[in-house]
């Protein structure tokens, strides 16, 4: 399964507006995308509640993974949306 490691650039991390923007993009991709913090279980990246529950802060490293057609393209797009590769 392809993955990308990203450092979250948003000053507020994945809270409220940045999380909403990210989850909408993940849902619009049309393929299953997962988000994971170090040492944690992966969650559905299209779920606002699941993403907010992770409590991802500014500068924190996360791992995105996806399965399906166009997964590499989708991961590149979502990684760019989150921050610094």
Catalytic residues: 15
What Å distances lie between residue 36 and 20, 45, CA to CA? 17, 9
b/e string for 48-78 if b means 16 or more Cβ within 10 A? bebbbebebeeebebebbbeeeebeebbeeb
- Hey, is 71 helix, strand or coil? helix
What is the rounded CA–CA span in Å between residue 61 and residue 83?
Answer: 10
């Amino acid at each position: 399964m392809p993955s990308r490691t990203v450092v979250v650039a948003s000053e507020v991390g994945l809270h409220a507006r940045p999380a909403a923007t990210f989850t909408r993009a993940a849902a619009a991709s049309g393929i299953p995308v997962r988000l994971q913090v170090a040492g944690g279980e992966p969650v559905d990246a299209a779920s606002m509640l699941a993403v907010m529950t992770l409590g991802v802060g500014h500068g924190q490293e996360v791992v995105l993974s996806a399965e399906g057609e166009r997964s590499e393209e989708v991961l590149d797009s979502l990684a760019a949306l989150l921050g610094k590769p």
